[in-house]
A = this chain, B = another copy of it.
């Protein structure tokens, strides 16, 4: 019988780790992720200015005092829309500079763990670092439990049965496209609901799926909120809001 810490292993010098920290509850971090959070020389994470950042909050119980940390602060808040060219320019510069910062740390021989909410390769900001650094530095990516897995677990509902097709759809799509995508699947997860909540609710109604739809805020985190989408009258939800529509496939 091996100890958890032994199985988890530790970080190597000069290596970049993309660490999936899971949906929110620290217990849903993988052994490997927990071992790396403990052992990397530099604990790096993205966060909005003035905030701790959600990924860093999740790992808090694993972080000893006086760790070397590297907070990468987003230059913009939600006020500038993603379609605004100013947003694209500022964020691209920020990612370029962040990648340089990480590269310098690695060049000094330090191991760097960059935290990613959920799974690093699934809509993760880690990917913007990965595509700039992969090939020029050693990288290990650690998969994580996705936010959607955390949400359907807490909503206490099996998600896909038998031959169900699951679609994961960003709430940022137009209402017409949302409806079109929803009518082509058996089960659905709508991500990035936040300020798209009212539009998402209309699209789910039009697609005829409102009876099965569940609205989830901050799944697995403190202040978690779960209810039928029909019962949620809010016009805007928080960033970590999601709508899940469980499948109806073959029950044996």
Contact = CB atoms under 8 A, between A and B. Distances in A.
Contact of A121 (B32, B130, B159, B168): B159
A62 interface: yes
A82 to B, nearest CB: 8
A141 B153 CA distance: 6
Given A2-B62, A30-B27, A32-B27, A119 B143 contact: no
Nearest to A26: B7
A173 interface: yes
Given A95-B252, A122-B159, A143 B145 contact: yes
Return the 7 tightest CB-CB contacts between A and B, nearest first: A27-B32, A4-B4, A127-B158, A143-B149, A166-B168, A143-B153, A121-B158
Given A8-B27, A121-B159, 16 more contacts: A1-B63, A27-B30, A31-B34, A119-B153, A121-B153, A121-B157, A121-B158, A123-B160, A123-B162, A127-B158, A128-B251, A128-B252, A163-B170, A165-B170, A168-B168, A184-B184
